[in-house]
Amino acid sequence: MKAIATDAVRATFLKIDHERKQNNFEVFGLDFMIDEKFNPLLIEINTNPAIETTCPICTRVIPSMIENAFR
């Protein structure tokens, strides 16, 4: 999953407006599906992912994700 995410960012890197990249960041939501052989498949990338803590997993993961994004 990390390699797929890295490839996705690298594929769009040259589209970033280099005049505006300083002091900016963006959180992307990558949706994966796992096939019957446990291989991850990228379904989509969201530029405005939901960051609601509506389930126990989200309650555990999202606050630290947001904190790490600000670091």
CA–CA dist 12, 34 (Å, integer): 24
Band the pLDDT of 21: cuts 50, 70, 90: low
Q: What is the pLDDT of residues 32-67, one digit of tens each?
A: 999 999 999 999 999 888 888 889 999 999 999 889
Q: What does the pLDDT read at residue 3?
A: 96
At residue 26, the pLDDT reads 80
Task: Check pLDDT > 90 for residue 9.
Answer: no
pLDDT at residue 71 is higher than 90: no
Alpha helices in 1-71 (DSSP H): 2-12, 56-70
